[in-house]
Every structure is written in C-alpha cells, then in structure tokens.
Amino acid sequence: MAGAILVAVLALLHPPPALAVEGDSALLQGLDKVTARISSITAPLNVAVRFGTLEIVVHRCTKRPPEETPESAALLEIHDVKPGEIRVLLFRGWMFASSPALSALEHPVYDIWVKDCLNSSSSEANGPR
C-alpha cells in the first residue's frame, strides 16, 4: 500500500514528458547575404524547395507541445545546385529554432534557419507566413 502511494506521489511530482508534435512542413527563413533580403520558406516534408542555388529537403519537423518551453526542430538536407555543376551537400542534420548557431548552414551567400513547424490540420498552417 505504501509503495503504491509513493508511486502515485512521484507521478504527480514528475509527470511524464508530453509528446512532441510532428509537423507536416517547416517554416524556414533564408537570408541572401548579397542582397540582404530575408525570405520566408514553407517546406513540406520530403519535398525539395529552392532558395537561390540551394535545394532544401525537410525530412522531419517536431515541435514541443504548448505546455512546455517553445522549441521547434527540423531534420534538414541542403544541397548547393548550380547549373552545369555537380550537386554539393552543404548540410545534413537537425536545426533548432531556439539555437540557430548550434548547427548552422555555412555558406558564403545564404543563411537558412528554422522558425517553426507547421501542420496543415492546425490553424498554424493558415496563419501569416
């Protein structure tokens, strides 16, 4: 009996973490360092989108639930695709919205960072971009 009460008290003090919300697209921002133009990019999962000479594919996008500290992260693959040249893999890995410098794309002309994860079944996907 005492063991069951202890387990119940511990469950109240340390509830299990809420599950991350999976998005079906990522909201990215891109900076063209030459023109100083910032662009919003909506990238559906597993669909290549272009930003300048970059080809970006989002493989996964997760977001913490509303009751936790805000954080979005996306698993990205970014290639530089110039006409008449071979594709060059520039980045493959996770990018975090709260820490863009933690795992950043290193490119002389472009910067890409994650802003949010979107889900077409939620109202977020219909908001401003």
Q: What is the pLDDT of residues 37-62, one digit of tens each?
A: 999 999 999 999 999 999 999 999 99
Q: What is the mean pLDDT of residues 85-108?
A: 90
Task: Using the predicted structure, report yes or no on whether residue 111 has a pLDDT greater than 70.
Answer: yes
Quote the pLDDT of residue 106.
86
Task: Using the predicted structure, report yes or no on whether residue 75 has a pLDDT greater than 60.
Answer: yes
Instruction: Please state, in angstroms and rounded to a whole number, the distance separating the CA atoms of residues 73 and 94.
Output: 6
- Per DSSP, the residues of 86-122 read --EEEEEEEEETT-TTTT----SSEEEEEEEEE-TTS
> 18 and 67 in contact (C-beta within 8 Å)?
yes
Quote the pLDDT of residue 104.
84
pLDDT tens, residue by residue, 24-33: 999 999 999 9
Quote the pLDDT of residue 101.
79
Residue 103: pLDDT band with limits 50, 70, 90? confident
> 28 and 61 in contact (C-beta within 8 Å)?
no
Residue 2: pLDDT band with limits 50, 70, 90? low
Residue 81: pLDDT band with limits 50, 70, 90? very high
Amino acid at 50: R
Task: Using the predicted structure, report yes or no on whether residue 6 has a pLDDT greater than 60.
Answer: no
